Chain A
Amino acid sequence: MSLNVLFSQVAVGVAASGGGGEFEAPRVEEFFWPLVGGNSYWALTRPAIVLLLSVAVIGWFFVTVAGRLTVVPSKRQFVAETAYDFVRNTIARDIIGAKDFKPFLPLLLTVFTMILFNNVMGIFPFVQFPTMSRIAFPIVLTAIIYITYHAVAIKRKHGVGGYLKSLVPPGLPGWLKPIMFVLEFLTYFFIRPLTLALRLFGNMLAGHLMLLVFILGGEYLLLHGSNIGIQASGVLGLGFGVVMTFFELLVQFLQAFIFTLLSALYISDAVSEHH
């Protein structure tokens, strides 16, 4: 696996640095990969391909597993049940509550599996592109969550007026109420969607950029180093790149988990009767 990472990233590096010369650190521009359509607005990009792949694979996986469920589970059914169980019990039921969690389960499971698959594609051999490192994809996912929790809250709290009134916790002195309202309004309408999208985006971009730095830097030190000491440090850099790849796997799972967890948390705020 590490060898594949190496080859594809070195290819990027040689293309970026013009084949030797001075070392150029990886840049954000390297995350734009138009495959069809060039620099126009309708380019078919690499993350779009990865996203379509994820839809096909996840759809195929769950549909075929759900088609033939058995009492003694097959290996694939076991994997599907583990993922479902994790989202249902650890995330949805514990946070939204046993009474209300069922309608939101399909949304949460879809979001979780989709983000997890797309994140793991960041270190998967030959694909190696974290879809969520392009800001558009987290924004769309966040928009779905944003519309969901506001719509649920408006329905549960008897209209827009009731929803806005429920933002202020009860039992506050009168002069504190406007200040709290502004703070809570900003949190619910701006800070929450902003951080939800940017957390996923930032973690995926920074993580992949870090891998690029270690592997490109190691390659540069190894191939262009002037003496044996520098070349040895290049080997060290490449080795650390491999270690960081496994660390990325942990981060990728954690980000999928946190995104789903926070979505559930926001939905639970919307369905709860009190504040």
Chain B
Amino acid sequence: MTGNITYLGYGLAAIGPGIGVGLIFAAYINGVARQPEARGMLQTIAFTGMALTEALAILGLVFVFVFAG
């Protein structure tokens, strides 16, 4: 079984966005728990933030395939 070190690198690189997405949704759940009527507004903000944070992990996934070839 052979592999490529870039896959390992991607695993490490995904830690950062993972923590970031976790923090965003923790804050979102906190906000909704404190003020349930703000759910709609907070949902938009949470998903925008998640989209930006997750972009880093997704770019990493693409770079795995780009640099592995």
B58 at the interface (CB under 8 A from A): yes
User: Is B55 within 8 A of A195, CB to CB?
Assistant: yes
Residue among B54, B58, B59 facing the most chain A CB atoms (10 A cut-off): B58
User: Is A206 within 8 A of B61, CB to CB?
Assistant: yes
User: Is A262 within 8 A of B58, CB to CB?
Assistant: no
Which residue of chain B has the shortest Cβ distance to A25 in the bound complex?
Answer: B1
Contacts of A95 in B (CB 8 A): 44
Among the listed A24, A191, A262, A265, which residue makes an inter-chain contact with B1, where contact means beta carbons less than 8 Å apart? Answer: A24
Interface residues of A in 252-273 (CB under 8 A from B): 258, 261-262, 265
Interface residues of A in 144-201 (CB under 8 A from B): 191, 194-195, 198-199
User: Is A265 within 8 A of B40, CB to CB?
Assistant: no
Give chain B nearest CB distance to A159 CB in angstroms: 26
User: Is A22 within 8 A of B1, CB to CB?
Assistant: yes
Number of A residues contacting the other chain (C-beta, 8 Å)? 18
B65 at the interface (CB under 8 A from A): yes
A196–B65 Cα distance when bound, in Å, is: 18
Give chain B nearest CB distance to A32 CB in angstroms: 14
Contacts of A225 in B (CB 8 A): none
Query: What are the 3 A-B residue pairs with the smallest beta carbon separation, nearest first?
Result: A195-B55, A198-B58, A202-B61
The chain B residues found within 8 Å of chain A, CB to CB, are 1, 3, 40, 43-44, 47-48, 51, 54-55, 58-59, 61-62, 65
Other A-B contacts than A95-B44, A195-B51, A202-B58, 16 sampled, CB-CB below 8 A, are A22-B1, A23-B1, A24-B1, A25-B1, A28-B65, A191-B55, A194-B55, A195-B54, A198-B58, A198-B62, A199-B51, A199-B58, A258-B51, A261-B47, A262-B47, A265-B47
A-B contact pairs, 24 of them (CB 8 A): A23-B1, A25-B3, A28-B65, A94-B40, A94-B43, A94-B44, A191-B55, A194-B55, A194-B59, A195-B51, A195-B54, A195-B55, A195-B59, A198-B58, A198-B59, A198-B62, A199-B51, A199-B58, A202-B58, A202-B62, A258-B47, A261-B47, A262-B47, A265-B44
